[in-house]
Structures are given as structure tokens and as C-alpha cells.
Copies of this chain bind each other. A is one copy, B any other.
Amino acid sequence: MQTIHEAADAIRQKKITPIELVEQCLANIDRWEEHVHAWVFVDRDGALAEAKRLTDELSRGQYRGPLHGIPIGVKDIFDVFDWPTAAGSKLWANSIARQDADVVRQLRQAGCIFLGKTVTTQYASFDPPVTRNPWNLSRTPGGSSSGSAAAVATGMCLGALGSQTGGSITRPASYCGVAGCKPSYGYVSCNGVVPLAPSMDHPGPIAPCVEDLAIMLRAMLDYDHSLFTHDQVRRLQDGCPGEFGRVRGLFQDLADLHVRAMMDEVSAQLRDKGAAIREFTLPPGFSEVLPSHRTVMAAEAAQYHEQRLRHHPQDYQPRIRALLEEGLNCPAPTYGRAKSLQDRLQDEMTANLMWDDWGILLTPATTSAAPDASTTGDPAFNSPWSYTGLPTVSLPVGLSPDGLPLAIQLVGARGKHEWLLAAAAWVEKALGVGPLTPPLPR
């Protein structure tokens, strides 16, 4: 699999042009898309024209940085100027965006080439999408950033924009065998993004490896651009970050046997490489996280959709509709209590992670490998971090006995993306795992 950082090096050294990179991606789309259905649409001509422009810039000596000429996919809830944003709605199929979303504008300025819009579950919720898992076409790619994960996994693009309110970045990235990052809450702008639950919506990158996530995230961050540079992350990945807190509790109880075995093996390997792995005890309120997350998601989604659901009930699939009805029937005090717990756990978890410099937690990324395509899988290991707003990085560590990717999830302290990405890059290197490439279906 082509990575962003390798492609960036090749572009800088003039071994490849943005035009050739786009052509590679389009060839992979010709190979894969009929099996995987990752795209709402691909704008071949637009992408090639943009690649030409960025290639010309390079030949004039203009270099925008490591995203110069990198072809990416955009989840179909982000506004891209003059492209429709449908968010899985039939009624929004021609709803053309009249501005770029903030994060799209930032990536465009950094030199990204947008190939097209990737499939999202409807309104970024739970109804199974048309997209299939490239490792096994009977399995789900996960949701809601289904197309983004499947497209990166198959080299149809080198990176993709995703978003997470429950487990919508980590879960699809992990099921498809690629890396994902959900940044700290509020650090990446949601302006121009169809909301699900505004107090937990997080745009984030999906990419082949951790270094690529760092490159994309750096262009997307609203506030702390200066906190780390690409070179700093490259350097940090060479030094062991010290101690990891392994989290059990629900992260053990809900994991299947393959995931439990994978976690034991990963922990043993990291210890071998010099990391300390200690047990991390979750604060007492954490047992309420999953129902409280659901309450906040349902109530806030209902606030956005209420009027539209009344006018266009036919434009809502069963699971999002059930979520909205839950929200509409949720008593205000229940929502209020869920918000209070959210505030309290945000503070408590960040305080708990300050043990040495900044602590990093280690959990499995998903409860199992990708299940069949009748669901988008269980977000139970991801929703707690969407709820508490802590940043996460997930990366694939190998294949399950039935040939599906398994992944781990690292969780950092709020705002400390540089430590988290450096730790994740070190883990990726210590485990000796690189991007996993699925075999083309026959």
C-alpha cells in the first residue's frame, strides 16, 4: 500500500508527479470500486485538472508541504465547494455546497487533491451502507466513515476525511486494516459538516499508517498547529514513550476471544521492546459511559433532525429514526445528567492521564473483527472517547484467524496530540506492523 509520507518523499524528490499519483488511485478505483462501493462519486476530470495544477506548481519550485499532490477522499458529510453533500439522504442528493467546510479548505490549501465523496451511513449513524469490507465482501467495513476506510484500505486514495460521534473513525479504520485518529474534542472545526451530536462530533483522518495521520492532522488542527511538526513526530517515534496504561473493565468484558488474545500478545511484545505496561483503573462513573453517550447522541441528533423528520419521515432509515425517536422522548433531566457526567469525566480522565509527562492508554480498537454486513459493528470501545473528548489513534496489528484485520487503540490526554502520535508511531514500529493490503477479490 502506498503511504502518504512515502508518496510525499517521492513527490519532493521528483520521482513521481501528483498526476501519476492520481492515475494510480484511479486505476485502483477501476480495480476495486465494483466490489467495495466506497464512493458516492469520483470526479476524475476535476482531480486530474487539480493534479495538473499542483504538478505545475512543483515545476515552478512551489512546494506546499507533505500533502502537496496527495489524493484523498472526503466523507459525504463534509462540504466541498460545488459538490453535493448528501449525507446519505435522497432529498439532499443535489444539495451542492457553496463553500468548503473549514477542514476541507485547510486540506485544499495544504495541497490535497479531492478525488470524490466517500459513502457515509445515513446522517453518520448506524444503518448499514452499500459499502463492503475489502477483506471479505460479506463483512461490514464498519460505519459511519465506511467509504473513507474502505477506499484507503484499497489504495483508491492515500488518505481520507472521516468523522466520529460514537466509533465512526476507529471502527471502520480498524475493520478495514488502516489507521485512524479521532482528535481531541473541539480541536478540528465542524463548520460545514453535517452534525450528528455537536458535543461529540469529531472530524479526523483515516490513513495507511500513524505518520500519515500526523501529516493530515497537522493540516486539520484549528488551534495548535505549532504543537508538533512532522519531523518531531518522526524523531519521537524512535524513543520508547515509557509507560502505557492497559485498560480492562468493559474493554476486556466486551472483547471476543481473538481480541483478548491479540491484546495479550501486543502487551507482551511492547514489554519486550522496553515499554512498561501497567493496569489502568477506570474511574467509577465510567460504568455509565455507554448509556450516557447514547443519551447525549440521541438528544442532540433529535435537536438537529426534529423538524425535518416530521416533514420528511420517508427520508430516514430505521436505525437513525429509532435513535431520533429515542432522543425526542428523552426527558431533559436525563440528558442533563448525561451532560454532567460527560463534563466530570472529561476533567477526571485528563487528570488521571498526567502520570508521567502525559500518559497513554492501551485498549483494543474494536470488540471483534468486522462482523457481517447487516450491521456496522459495535462502537463500545470508541464511544467512551467520543464522549470524554480524549484523542485516540488506532492502528492495525495483524489478521484474525479468519483473515480479517485486528487493531489496537491508544488514548491520550486532551490536546496532547504530539505525545499520542509519537507513542502510536513507536508502537507501530515496535510491533513491526505496516499497512495491511487486502487481496483483490476474484
B-binding residues in A (CB < 8 A):
81-82, 84-85, 87, 91-92, 94-99, 191, 194-195, 307-308, 311
**A84, B92: Cα distance in complex, Å:** 10
Task: Please state if B98 and A194 are interface contacts (CB–CB under 8 Å).
Answer: yes
Task: Please state if B81 and A92 are interface contacts (CB–CB under 8 Å).
Answer: no
A308 contacts which of B82, B85, B87, B195 (Cβ < 8 Å)?
A: B82
Please name all residues of chain B whose beta carbon is closer than 8 Å to the beta carbon of A308 when the two chains form the complex.
Answer: 81-82
Please name all residues of chain B whose beta carbon is closer than 8 Å to the beta carbon of A97 when the two chains form the complex.
Answer: 95
Pick from A82, A84, A96, A98 the residue with the most CB of B within 10 Å. Answer: A98
Pull 6 A–B residue pairs with CB atoms less than 8 Å apart, ordered by A.
A81-B308, A82-B307, A82-B308, A87-B98, A95-B97, A95-B98
Nearest-neighbour CB distance to chain B for A104, whole angstroms, equals 14
Task: Please state if B85 and A98 are interface contacts (CB–CB under 8 Å).
Answer: yes
Closest 9 CB pairs of A and B: A95-B96, A94-B94, A98-B194, A82-B308, A95-B95, A92-B96, A85-B98, A95-B98, A92-B98
Task: Please state if A191 and B194 are interface contacts (CB–CB under 8 Å).
Answer: no
Task: Please state if B95 and A311 are interface contacts (CB–CB under 8 Å).
Answer: no
**A95, B81: Cα distance in complex, Å:** 12
CB-nearest residue of chain B relative to A195? Answer: B99
CB-nearest residue of chain B relative to A96? Answer: B95
Please name all residues of chain B whose beta carbon is closer than 8 Å to the beta carbon of A85 when the two chains form the complex.
Answer: 98
Pick from A85, A95, A308 the residue with the most CB of B within 10 Å. Answer: A95
**A81, B99: Cα distance in complex, Å:** 15
Nearest-neighbour CB distance to chain B for A440, whole angstroms, equals 34
Nearest-neighbour CB distance to chain B for A236, whole angstroms, equals 37
A311 contacts which of B82, B84, B191, B194 (Cβ < 8 Å)?
A: B82
Task: Please state if A307 and B81 are interface contacts (CB–CB under 8 Å).
Answer: yes
Nearest-neighbour CB distance to chain B for A100, whole angstroms, equals 10
Please name all residues of chain B whose beta carbon is closer than 8 Å to the beta carbon of A91 when the two chains form the complex.
Answer: 96
Please name all residues of chain B whose beta carbon is closer than 8 Å to the beta carbon of A191 when the two chains form the complex.
Answer: 191
CB-nearest residue of chain B relative to A192? Answer: B99
Please name all residues of chain B whose beta carbon is closer than 8 Å to the beta carbon of A194 when the two chains form the complex.
Answer: 98-99
CB-nearest residue of chain B relative to A46? Answer: B311
A94 contacts which of B95, B98, B99, B195 (Cβ < 8 Å)?
A: B95
CB-nearest residue of chain B relative to A308? Answer: B82
**A170, B92: Cα distance in complex, Å:** 35
Please name all residues of chain B whose beta carbon is closer than 8 Å to the beta carbon of A98 when the two chains form the complex.
Answer: 85, 87, 92, 95, 194
Excluding A82-B307, A95-B96, A98-B194, 19 further A-B contacts by CB distance (< 8 Å) are A81-B307, A81-B308, A82-B308, A82-B311, A84-B95, A85-B98, A87-B98, A91-B96, A92-B96, A92-B98, A94-B94, A94-B95, A94-B96, A95-B95, A95-B97, A95-B98, A99-B194, A99-B195, A191-B191
CB-nearest residue of chain B relative to A123? Answer: B98
Nearest-neighbour CB distance to chain B for A342, whole angstroms, equals 23
Nearest-neighbour CB distance to chain B for A48, whole angstroms, equals 13
**A96, B194: Cα distance in complex, Å:** 12
**A21, B82: Cα distance in complex, Å:** 38
**A87, B308: Cα distance in complex, Å:** 23
**A307, B45: Cα distance in complex, Å:** 13
**A84, B84: Cα distance in complex, Å:** 12
**A76, B187: Cα distance in complex, Å:** 32
Please name all residues of chain B whose beta carbon is closer than 8 Å to the beta carbon of A92 when the two chains form the complex.
Answer: 96, 98
**A294, B213: Cα distance in complex, Å:** 43
Nearest-neighbour CB distance to chain B for A95, whole angstroms, equals 4
CB-nearest residue of chain B relative to A82? Answer: B308
CB-nearest residue of chain B relative to A95? Answer: B96
Please name all residues of chain B whose beta carbon is closer than 8 Å to the beta carbon of A307 when the two chains form the complex.
Answer: 81-82
**A82, B82: Cα distance in complex, Å:** 17
**A99, B91: Cα distance in complex, Å:** 15
**A41, B416: Cα distance in complex, Å:** 49
**A98, B195: Cα distance in complex, Å:** 9
Nearest-neighbour CB distance to chain B for A203, whole angstroms, equals 15
**A343, B442: Cα distance in complex, Å:** 64
Please name all residues of chain B whose beta carbon is closer than 8 Å to the beta carbon of A87 when the two chains form the complex.
Answer: 98
**A87, B97: Cα distance in complex, Å:** 12
Nearest-neighbour CB distance to chain B for A23, whole angstroms, equals 21
**A319, B224: Cα distance in complex, Å:** 43
